[in-house]
């Protein structure tokens, strides 16, 4: 459980997610840590119901143990989301399916963690493009 952390403005938050989607943050571990912090700083109007269940010590323990794939999967651990990975000749493909929005988002990477992270960031980028800056709670209600 986390306390109510002051959120980032939506435009800054989306810009930071875009940096992750473009691979601008260096090693996967660093980008995963940044992604988790962005979840903590989610603008209030976009916070999903499971926002209060973010557990930073547990997430950091995954990163410290080198379990980057599980850390990446934790980013998409929400009702209505499923993630799968598929090895390919020179890396991994990740697919995130959102049953609520009826969307499938892809990511690729050298490792399952990198592919899931890219798909996670692409998911937010696509939502921003498709719906504009709106409240996720409104989108999730349909």
pLDDT tens-place string over residues 1-48: 455 678 999 889 989 998 998 889 989 999 999 999 998 898 887 776
Band (129; pLDDT cuts 50, 70, 90): confident
For the record, the structure tokens of 95 come out as: 């697919």
What Cα–Cα distance (Å) separates residue 45 from each residue in 89, 105, 107, 136, 138? 41, 22, 26, 7, 9
Give the mean pLDDT of 88-92: 94
pLDDT tens per residue across span 59-84: 999 999 999 999 999 998 877 789 99
Hey, where are the domains in the chain? 10-141
Q: Residue 107 has what DSSP assignment?
A: E
Radius of gyration (C-alpha) of the chain in whole angstroms: 14
For 10-141, CATH gives 3.30.160
111 versus 137: the higher-pLDDT residue is 111
**Distance between CA atoms of residues 36 and 28, nearest Å:** 12
Only one residue has tokens 């260096």, namely 26
- Could you tell me the pTM of the whole model? 0.84
108 versus 137: the higher-pLDDT residue is 108
State yes or no: pLDDT of 97 exceeds 50. Answer: yes
State yes or no: pLDDT of 139 exceeds 50. Answer: no
33 versus 122: the higher-pLDDT residue is 33
> 97 — phi, psi (to 5°)?
-110, 130
Q: Yes or no: say if 13 and 42 are a contact pair by the CB < 8 Å rule.
A: yes
Collect all residues with Cβ–Cβ distance below 8 Å to 141 and sequence separation of at least 6: none
Q: Yes or no: say if 1 and 52 are a contact pair by the CB < 8 Å rule.
A: yes
State yes or no: pLDDT of 92 exceeds 90. Answer: yes
The angle at the Cα of 65, spanning 64 to 66, to the nearest 5 degrees, equals: 90
């Amino acid at each position: 459980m986390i306390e109510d952390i002051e959120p980032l403005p939506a435009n800054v938050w989306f810009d930071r997610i875009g940096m992750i989607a473009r691979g601008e943050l260096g090693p996967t571990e660093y980008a995963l840590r940044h992604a988790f912090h962005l979840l903590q700083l989610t603008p209030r109007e976009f916070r999903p119901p499971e926002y209060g269940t973010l557990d930073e010590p547990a997430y950091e323990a995954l990163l410290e143990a080198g379990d980057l794939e599980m850390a990446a999967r934790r980013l998409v651990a929400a009702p209505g989301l499923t993630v799968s990975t598929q090895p390919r000749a020179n890396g991994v493909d990740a697919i995130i399916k959102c049953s609520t929005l009826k969307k499938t988002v892809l990511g690729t990477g050298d490792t399952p963690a990198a592919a899931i992270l890219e798909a996670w960031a692409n998911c937010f980028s696509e939502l921003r493009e498709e719906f504009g800056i709106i409240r996720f709670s409104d989108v999730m209600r349909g």
